[in-house]
Amino acid sequence: MILKTSQELYQLTVQVFSACGATPEEAAWVAEELVEASLMGIDSHGVIRIPQYVNQVFSGSIKPGSKIQIIRETPSTAVVDCGLNFGAVSANKMVDILLEKAEHSHIACVVSRRSHHVGRLGAYAQKVAEKQMVALAAVNGAKGEHCVAPWGGREGRLCTNPFAYAVPTSKEPLVFDMSTSMIAEGRLRMYKNKGEPVPLGRILDANGNPSTDPKDFYGPPAGTLLPFGAELGYKGFGLGLLVEILGGVLAGVSLSDDADYVNGLCLIAINPDAFYGKESFVQEMDQLSEYMLSCPTAPGFDKITLPGALDFHRKEQRLQSGVPIDEVTWETIVKAAQKVGCSIC
Amino acid sequence: MILKTSQELYQLTVQVFSACGATPEEAAWVAEELVEASLMGIDSHGVIRIPQYVNQVFSGSIKPGSKIQIIRETPSTAVVDCGLNFGAVSANKMVDILLEKAEHSHIACVVSRRSHHVGRLGAYAQKVAEKQMVALAAVNGAKGEHCVAPWGGREGRLCTNPFAYAVPTSKEPLVFDMSTSMIAEGRLRMYKNKGEPVPLGRILDANGNPSTDPKDFYGPPAGTLLPFGAELGYKGFGLGLLVEILGGVLAGVSLSDDADYVNGLCLIAINPDAFYGKESFVQEMDQLSEYMLSCPTAPGFDKITLPGALDFHRKEQRLQSGVPIDEVTWETIVKAAQKVGCSIC
């Protein structure tokens, strides 16, 4: 395991994507999102993505510098054409658009077209909460990547379709970010790489039978991930379907086979000023948080954890101790940097 | 088991609540909601509630005829004081307010204060979807009723806090309605009444240990319901917390010990006219539905079921065959009717 400081990772990421043709502002946004995810311990959405994004720039899938623009709007809504720029860049622009609309219209909804991979969904909800508003966020994925079976099915019909929300408190916001499947594909790959069985109830083989062998998911023939909820998986399926509707159908791009997008992002902001005011809202949220944290624990637990608290805690730790990166991952990052002629590596 | 036609149940319900002091319009709304839930097979929220509501009118908890009014609003939001009128009445008025706001402002959010029991949450989302809009709905419950433990806890900190959504298609809307706990209290009571064990993973006893004995929940000392998600129950806790925030904190009434409300309702409507239009949206929804239904099934399933489809199917059946009601329940309904001097019984 290698330890890197967040500054090292940030500078490296900025250099790599600048060398890829990103503007300074774009490179900074991508670096901010990837390093923040790595700091928070959400490693699957962190700097591990650098080689992938570099390859996607080379293949023309990501288009640095391309225009991000509102193509349809009302005072409270917008459809944003993300131009296949980096997802982190377009998602941040969508947050800005959303905040401005929610400041004036009290509740607002912004959806994407032609968005690339946005990374950690909770990040964008969090940015809204940092402006003292309530955020809901959902992100779907293109049809070619559908790997989650509907409840009762044995073919992929949805992506892992995460749903997130964030809510301000007087300290860190609550940041909740869940996939609507029983396991994220990145986690499953870890089991496969280690040669370990995956717990039962996470995946089906191609025939729709439960399996603990990650290879049964990857195939061929490919299996599926189960929707969240174990024997109540119809609930997880319903939540995944909602994400598909918000992230895809609302923007009119859900199911086209040749859809030129990776993620369909939907952001909703609710402004407490329309109700009892931001200050009063934050006070009530502090009370609610305290009430949850005051709950005596069940055997096996030593405290109650609010959504996002572990991630903020890990960030603090890693800001001190550095971000651990395994050697194989680091090597692929170094190679990607070399590919774009990045001198530091 | 007794079979009653929906007309019989509707007339009976109208008569009972008219005799309780409800206006004709109020009685009709309560009857519509209760009978519709019974028709759909959601019996715990159907006519079984008649005796409870009658008792609550007698005790002064429900206030028929009381004024329902907007006490704070913007073009896209409203806080509605429900005056402790029947929850079905105030929730229907909230839907009307919501629809008007969403028609003009494209996205709208309406929350309640002093709302009584609203019954089937999905009903109100469904009414929004019937106007070709996307609805999100959440309802919390007063602190005194908190029976769901936070993840890792052993005391109640939330109610079963349902979350619902509804989305138009060219046929019946999708109507999704889930509790954010592993089991609804009504279902648990059924296990208790039958003397049967509840499946593992639904409840904890007062010490926070897993139990299959429903009596360990009811106590004393009282146990708790687990949040939805089995070993991923932190996701269900996060969803329950979101419902508390939308239904309670936004309206500024979450945790007061003397809160004069039963449910805190939050309704959000998104108008596809602000995006690609209602017609196009419904077409895309039809395609999405078809795509889901076309999925080959896993062993043990004979088809894919979309959210709400079973309920609409049951409604069709019960419109033909009548609504089955067990004798004990029927007897309590008859007694409640006699109590208010209702001549038909």
- Show the tokens assigned to A151: 């409840």
User: Looking at beta carbons, which residues of chain A come within 8 Å of B109?
Assistant: 106-107, 270, 274
For residue B187, what pLDDT is reported? 85
CA-CA distance, A305 to B237, in Å (whole number)? 10
CA-CA distance, A89 to A92, in Å (whole number)? 5
B314: number of Cβ within 10 Å: 16
Q: What is the pLDDT of residues B50-74, one digit of tens each?
A: 999 999 999 999 999 999 999 999 9
Task: Return the domain boundaries, chain B.
Answer: 2-62+308-339, 69-182+226-274
Instruction: Suggest the residue from B98, B295, B305 to mutate for an interface test with chain A (most A CBs closer than 10 A).
Output: B295
CA-CA distance, A266 to A118, in Å (whole number)? 11
For residue A257, what pLDDT is reported? 66
Helix (H) or strand (E) holding B205: none
CATH code for the structural domain at B2-62+308-339: 1.10.1530.10
Residues of chain A with pLDDT below 50 are 345
For residue A189, what pLDDT is reported? 85
**Which amino acid, one-letter code, is at B304?**
I
For residue B8, what pLDDT is reported? 96
For residue A344, what pLDDT is reported? 60
For residue B193, what pLDDT is reported? 83
How does residue B334 score in pLDDT terms, banded at 50, 70 and 90?
Answer: very high
Comparing CB atoms, the residue among B155, B244, B276 nearest residue A288 is B244
For residue A190, what pLDDT is reported? 82
Nearest to B251 by CA among B155, B333, B152, B138: B138
For residue B257, what pLDDT is reported? 66
- Is A110 near chain B, with CB under 8 Å? no
- Which chain B residue has the Cα nearest residue A308? B238
Q: Return the CATH number of A69-182+226-274, one of 3.30.1370.60, 3.90.730.10, 3.60.15.10, 3.20.20.70.
A: 3.30.1370.60
Provide the chain B residues 77-106 that lie in CB contact (below 8 A) with chain A. Answer: 77, 79, 105-106
pLDDT average, residue stretch B196-217: 97
- Show the tokens assigned to A186: 């990145």
- Show the tokens assigned to B175: 């109507």
Burial A19-50 (b: 16+ CB within 10 A, else e): bbebeeebbbbbbbbbbbbbbbbbbbbbbbbb
Residue B345, pLDDT above cutoff 60: no
Secondary-structure class of domain A2-61+309-339 per CATH: mainly alpha
Nearest to B203 by CA among B178, B184, B223, B222: B223
For residue B344, what pLDDT is reported? 60
Query: Lowest-confidence range among A190-194, B82-86, B300-304?
Result: A190-194
| Cα radius of gyration (chain B) | 20
Nearest to B13 by CA among B77, B84, B89, B75: B89
Percent of chain B with pLDDT over 70: 98
